[in-house]
Amino acid sequence: MFSEATQLLKENQDCLKILRQYALQEKPSDEEENSTWTKRLYRQADHTEENEADQSCEAHGLLIAYGYLDIELAGRDAGIHYRLSSAGKKALAQMEKQQATQDDQRLAG
C-alpha cells in the first residue's frame, strides 16, 4: 500500500514526473542546506504549451503545499527558484521503492 506521504505522487503523475526532474538536478552529495536551486522545471509531455503550463503550475503548487519543493525568491529579475526538499527526497525514495516492490511482485507472478 502507498503511504500518505506518497499518495499525492501516486494519484498525480505530473507531480511525480516533476519531482523526478528536480531530483535529477541534485548532486549526490547535496544536503538540504546546500541543495541546488534552479528555475522552474517543466515536464516534457504531448500537451499543448498552454495546457502543459497549467498542469505544471498546479503540480508545482501541490508539491510546494506538501512540502516536497522548497522555493526562494531569487530577485526581481531572476524570479522564483526551486529545489527538492528533504521531505520530497524521502517521498520520492519511498515511491520508487514501492514501485520497485510492485514490479518485483508482478514479475514473480
Quick one: three-class SS letters along 30-96? Answer: CCHHHCCCECCCCCCCCCCHHHHHHHHHHHHHHHHHCCCEEEEECCCCCCEEEEECHHHHHHHHHHH
pLDDT tens-digit series, residues 74-106: 778 888 899 999 999 999 999 988 888 777 777
Q: Could you please state the CATH topology (level 3) that the domain comprising 4-103 is classified under.
A: Arc Repressor Mutant, subunit A (1.10.10)
Q: In this predicted structure, what is the pLDDT of residue 31?
A: 58
What is the CA angle 24-27-32, rounded to 5?
100
Higher-pLDDT residue of 19 and 30 is 19
% residues pLDDT > 70 (the chain): 76
Q: How far from the centroid of its chain's Cα atoms is residue 101's Cα?
A: 20
Q: In this predicted structure, what is the pLDDT of residue 106?
A: 72
CA torsion sign for 84, 23, 60, 80 is positive
Domain extents in the chain: 4-103
- Summarize the confidence of residues 40-62 as an average pLDDT: 71
pLDDT tens-digit series, residues 30-49: 555 556 888 888 754 444 45
Q: In this predicted structure, what is the pLDDT of residue 83?
A: 92
pTM for the structure as a whole: 0.76
Q: Give the whole-angstrom CA distance, residue 105 versus residue 85.
A: 30
User: Residue 83 is placed in which grid cell?
Assistant: 529545489
